[in-house]
Amino acid sequence: MGLSVPQIILIIAVVILIFGPKRIPQLGKSIGEAIRGFRKGLDGKEKSSDMNAKNENSEKNSEV
């Protein structure tokens, strides 16, 4: 159930009417920066959780 070409054209036309052609590149840039920040945050969280797991394992090994 994808979007057909006329539906996509209608959506683009409505977006242009709402935001105007000058504002659309700014919106694209803002959305791109937000996505990059979100991914960067996820990568940082995964790295920190990996580091925490390694630290816990090394602490357990040193206690034994």
* 47 has a pLDDT exceeding 80: no
Tokens of 44: 């940082």
Mean pLDDT of the chain: 81
Confidence of residue 10 (pLDDT cuts 50, 70, 90): very high
Q: What predicted TM-score, i.e. pTM, was given to this entire model?
A: 0.50
The Cβ-side half-sphere exposure at 36, using a 13 Å CA radius, reads 6
